[in-house]
Structure 1
């Protein structure tokens, strides 16, 4: 069975929305992490910051772009 990171992306979006909603009311990110995120998800603060910086909504909507293998040489005749 192949691993699918859709659940992780959904968790990222949920945390991002939670932080955006709380920041509108003037609450700091550290307070949101300590009081709401850590007791529910048990992730570290570094992971929390990585989740906030990741474009999860875009990846869920459009998928990840496949990068070409730039190491391979091509010959054109």
Structure 2
């Protein structure tokens, strides 16, 4: 089976959800650096630059496109 971006897109969606939930947590919201250092880095062990790249990625659209392409993929054995 060929490699696809499914797992990395799911990781990006998780990180974006953490960011969205915590950026509005306080009155002014948590800083990006706080969210990265306290919530994202201990779990995912990614760099801060990767964190910002993940925030800028339209992962939901890419993930939906990937699922659409999987549905169009022909199978060898139809059951």
The TM-score range, normalised by the shorter chain, is 0.7 to 0.9
Choose which of 50, 54, 58 in structure 2 pairs with 1:51: 54
Provide the residue aligned with 1:37 in structure 2.
40
More helix by share: 2
Work out which of the two has the higher radius of gyration on C-alpha atoms and give 1 or 2: 1
Q: What is the TM-score of this pair, normalised by structure 2?
A: 0.75
**Structure 1 residues 25-65: Cα deviation after superposition (integer angstroms, max 9, x where no partner):** 111111010001111011000000000000000111124xx
Count matched residues: 63
Over the aligned positions, Cα root-mean-square deviation in angstroms equals 0.9
Runs ≥4 in structure 1, deviation > 4 angstroms?
Answer: none
